[in-house]
């Protein structure tokens, strides 16, 4: 070989070695270290036969084609049946062209050593993976030859919560990779908890897949995550057509494509029940305790009710007195009729709301109605007409006069009502007397209401 060729090969070797070393340092401990290989069962080839010659031709062209591609991806086939060989190479989307070429070149060499004389071989590194086969796997998007790699360390957080967070991150990143990336590649990070502040994820499909096929392929392997990688702080599923990886430490180059917020914290568990043994209480004491609580409450309610009723009664009396003229010269006379105030509702009930059939007569100043109080007492109610010329002052004087009159042949004043613009005098018959059918009502001369002995 020329000195120039040797120097080129040395540089290529050093770049590949550096790439593998960096990937090794960034990769958390797993069950094994790269390369990972899968040797198929489609037959073997012999040394220096046509199939081996075809593999060597692919190894000379495919690394360059993959590194030259904007998507760092290439497929090829060479030869004819029965010695035709198909090959696929895919480098990680965050890599560069030189590292991609070096990785695929080394992959061809390792595949022929790790799967010696096997016509179907797959080798996987962190920066790239390669498959060649005598079967036309390029004609399908089937995600064959899946490798599961699991970190040996487990999470300290609740497993189901961590697994759900990982699936959320991978699904969101998968959506982006399938729909928005020509490389069908995306990375993401998601906040989690204080022990594992961030979860990092990466997903990738071969760029020749449609968005729907890519998302379907990723969905299938992401669904396997809880089954194959549950509780592990890192892991990956790698197939020929799509793959994913997640870790709790950074492992990809550059800024993440997506950043997701931390999932909501799970609800706090309910407080543990307190075992309290109740103290047995004799029935008699329990009943006494209930009475000691209830009786004061009942007494307080009764007292409040009584006070309220008294207050309302006094308020009504004050309202009736306020309707009397303020120019009265004898307050003692006015006070003497406070006890005679009767509610308008009582008089309406007694006279059937001043029904026409209860009218005893009518004068110039209003009508007189018969009625019965709730206690059975027969009464006559003088109802001053609102249009009457009789003044309040004259009415007051007659109230004081009638209240003081006592005679065996006179009816007795038993009440007065001054509510809702009504002016009513209530008379009751004395024992042994009856109310006359005709009652003179002129000038509200209450003393002239006649009775028959």
Containing 293, the helix (H) or strand (E) segment is helix 283-322
Closest CA to 383 of 410, 409, 356: 356
Cα–Cα distance for residue pair 426/167, rounded to 1 Å: 92
Residues 6+ apart with CB under 8 A from 313: none
The phi and psi torsions of 303 (rounded to 5 degrees) equal: -65, -45
- H-type alpha helices, 224-282: 225-229
Q: Is 382 annotated as a binding residue?
A: yes
Asked if residues 355 and 339 have their Cβ atoms less than 8 Å apart, the reply is no
Q: Strand, coil or helix: what is 378?
A: strand
DSSP letter for each residue of 109-162:
HHHHHHTTTBSSEEEE-SSEEEEEESS-GGG-----S-EEEEBS-B-SS-HHHH
CA of residue 175 relative to chain centroid, distance:
27
If you count DSSP H runs as helices and E runs as strands, how many of each does the chain have, helices first?
A: 10, 18
Which token pair is 329? 């010269």
CA atoms within 13 A on the CB side of 142: 8
Upstream peptide bond of 82 is cis (omega within 30 degrees of 0):
yes
The tokens for 107 are 């992959």
What gap in Å lies between CA 363 and CA 352, rounded to an integer?
21
Q: Is residue 394 within a helix (H) or strand (E), and if so which, with residue range? A: helix 392-404
Sign of CA dihedral 271, 272, 277, 282: positive
| Contacts of residue 117, Cβ cutoff 8 Å, sequence gap at least 6 | 44, 45, 46, 47, 52
Instruction: Kindly state the helix (H) or strand (E) to which residue 21 belongs, with its residue range.
Output: helix 3-26
Residues at the binding site are: 382
Residues at the binding site for ATP are: 382
């Amino acid at each position: 070989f020329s000195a120039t060729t040797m120097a080129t090969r040395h540089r290529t070797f050093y770049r590949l070695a550096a790439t593998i070393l960096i990937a090794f340092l960034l990769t958390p401990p797993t069950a094994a270290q790269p390369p990972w290989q899968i040797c198929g069962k489609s037959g073997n080839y012999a040394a220096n036969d046509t199939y081996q010659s075809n593999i060597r031709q692919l190894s000379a062209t495919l690394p360059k084609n993959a590194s030259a591609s904007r998507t760092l991806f290439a497929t090829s086939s060479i030869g004819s049946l029965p010695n035709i060989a198909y090959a696929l190479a895919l480098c990680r989307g965050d890599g560069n062209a030189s590292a991609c070429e070096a990785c695929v070149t080394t992959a061809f060499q390792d595949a022929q050593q790790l799967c010696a004389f096997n016509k179907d071989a797959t080798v996987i590194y962190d920066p790239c993976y390669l498959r060649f086969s005598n079967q036309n796997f390029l004609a399908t998007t089937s995600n064959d030859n899946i490798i599961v790699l699991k970190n040996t360390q487990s999470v300290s957080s609740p497993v189901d919560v961590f697994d759900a967070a990982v699936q959320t991150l991978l699904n969101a990143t998968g959506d982006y990779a399938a729909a928005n990336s020509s490389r069908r590649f995306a990375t993401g990070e998601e906040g989690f908890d204080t022990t594992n502040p961030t979860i990092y994820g990466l997903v990738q499909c071969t760029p020749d897949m449609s968005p729907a096929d890519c998302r379907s392929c990723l969905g299938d392997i992401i669904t396997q995550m809880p089954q194959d990688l549950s509780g592990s702080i890192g892991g990956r599923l790698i197939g020929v057509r799509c793959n994913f990886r997640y870790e709790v430490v950074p492992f990809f180059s550059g800024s993440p494509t997506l950043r997701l917020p931390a999932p909501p914290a799970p609800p706090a568990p309910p407080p543990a029940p307190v075992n309290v043994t109740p103290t047995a209480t004799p029935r008699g004491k329990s009943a006494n305790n209930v009475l000691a609580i209830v009786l004061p409450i009942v007494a307080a309610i009764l007292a409040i009710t009584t006070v309220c009723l008294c207050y309302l009664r006094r308020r009504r009396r004050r309202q009736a007195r306020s309707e009397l003229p303020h120019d009265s010269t004898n307050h003692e006379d006015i006070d003497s009729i406070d006890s005679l105030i009767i509610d308008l509702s009582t008089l309406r009930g007694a006279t059937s709301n001043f029904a026409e059939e209860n009218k005893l007569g009518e004068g110039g100043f209003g009508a007189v109605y018969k009625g019965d109080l709730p206690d059975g007492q027969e009464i006559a109610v003088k109802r001053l007409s609102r249009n009457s010329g009789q003044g309040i002052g004259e009415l007051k004087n007659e109230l004081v006069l009638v209240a003081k009159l006592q005679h065996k042949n006179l009816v007795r004043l038993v009440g007065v009502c001054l509510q809702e613009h009504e002016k009513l005098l209530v008379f009751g018959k004395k024992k042994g007397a009856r109310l006359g059918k005709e009652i003179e009502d002129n000038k509200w001369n209450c003393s002239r209401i006649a009775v028959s002995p």
